[in-house]
Structure 1
Amino acid sequence: MSLSSDAIPLDGGLSLSVTADPAEGDLAIVRGGLAAFNDAVFPPAGRKDLAVFVRGAAGEVKGGLYGYTGWGWLYVQWLWLDESLRGQGLAGKLLVAAEVEALARGCHGALIDTFSPTARRTYEHAGYQAFGELPDFPKGHTRTYLQKRLDAA
């Protein structure tokens, strides 16, 4: 199915529409519907953003980690360091800072994923263990999912 503004008719007067530019209102309906379903089935997530930054002498961002905590887990969405700072152990320090905050928020585990074999080794060195892989995501690469128990100590 290619992207098209034409509706694809379904039974019962329904139709499918495919778009690369969804209206915010349409997304809000889907987001709200899923949130209502989850709220009825699962306990509140308690989702809260978490960011840790590496800053230069002038206060500029040279790297950082962004994610959130919820349902007792830290999920690291992004971890990036300026190329000049890589290989100095700063990724591990970003992870530790985020994990300490996650523990303070009551988290018991952490989750991260990566396409990079180098990043995977960094995360494994920080105590994360791979629990799943998705080959060819993107093509020619493997997306690896890793987790770490935070309350094991």
Structure 2
Amino acid sequence: MNAYSLEVTDTPSPETLRAIGDQLAAFNDADVGPSGRRPLVVAARDGEGRVLAGLSGYTAWGWLYVQWLWIAESQRGQGLAGTLLAAAEVEARTRGCHGAYIDTFNPVALKAYRRAGYVPFGELADFPRGRTRTFLQKPL
């Protein structure tokens, strides 16, 4: 067995994070091929350029992953989440994606995602405590 030391930290160096990410990407590239990972952002702005809502995620291996979707309080309940998702899905299809996935522990967001055609495929109870994190997918 090789000798090694373990470092546990909440302040990793950029070099450590880069080494882990680069090595995992190299492994995955050799195993299943390049991911083609590209960021994807959709932002709704007011007349002065302020962000009123936004979606941030990426496309990789033929899938859109929506990491963040936020709507300003003043804009909620007007269908903007569905509009952002639809715009991201159009771009994902343009990039050759065949599916999309997202997760949430917010019951209101869960309803919005289901209205947009996303279907649950898994759950984690008490994540965070008292809530259920639901994972959803949608074919594109």
TM range (shorter): over 0.9
Alignment-derived partner of residue 110 in structure 1: 100
Alignment-derived partner of residue 128 in structure 1: 118
25 and 86 in structure 1: CA distance in 2 versus 1, 3 angstrom threshold: same
RMSD: 1.1
Alignment-derived partner of residue 36 in structure 2: 46
Alignment-derived partner of residue 85 in structure 1: 75
Runs of 4 or more, structure 1, over 3 Å off, are: none
Q: Which whole-Å CA distance do the structure 1 matches of 2:24 and 2:112 have between them?
A: 35
**Partner SS state of residue 57, structure 1:** coil
Please report how far the alpha carbon of residue 53 of structure 1 lies from its aligned counterpart in structure 2 after TM superposition: 0.9
Alignment-derived partner of residue 36 in structure 1: 26
Q: Which whole-Å CA distance do the structure 2 matches of 1:12 and 1:54 have between them?
A: 52
Give CA-to-partner distance per residue, 1:63-107, whole Å, 9 cap, x none.
Answer: 111111111111101100100000000110001011111111111
Q: TM-score, normalised by structure 2?
A: 0.95
Q: Counterpart of 1:111 in structure 2: which amino acid?
A: Y
Q: Any gaps of 5 or more consecutive residues in structure 2?
A: none
Q: Which whole-Å CA distance do the structure 1 matches of 2:91 and 2:2 have between them?
A: 51
Q: Counterpart of 1:98 in structure 2: which amino acid?
A: A
Q: Counterpart of 2:52 in structure 1: which amino acid?
A: K
Q: Any gaps of 5 or more consecutive residues in structure 1?
A: 1-10
Q: 2:85 aligns with which of 88, 95, 99?
A: 95
Alignment-derived partner of residue 8 in structure 1: none
Q: 1:70 aligns with which of 46, 60, 84?
A: 60
Q: Please tell me whether residue 27 in structure 1 is matched to residue 23 in structure 2.
A: no
Greater gyration radius = 1
Please report how far the alpha carbon of residue 15 of structure 1 lies from its aligned counterpart in structure 2 after TM superposition: 2.2
Please report how far the alpha carbon of residue 12 of structure 1 lies from its aligned counterpart in structure 2 after TM superposition: 4.4
> How many aligned positions are there?
140
| Sequence identity percentage | 60
Please report how far the alpha carbon of residue 32 of structure 1 lies from its aligned counterpart in structure 2 after TM superposition: 1.6
Please report how far the alpha carbon of residue 13 of structure 1 lies from its aligned counterpart in structure 2 after TM superposition: 2.8
**Partner SS state of residue 27, structure 1:** helix
Alignment-derived partner of residue 147 in structure 1: 137
Give CA-to-partner distance per residue, 1:26-73, whole Å, 9 cap, x none.
Answer: 222211211111111012111111111111121211111111111111
RCO higher in structure (CA 8 A, sep ≥6):
2
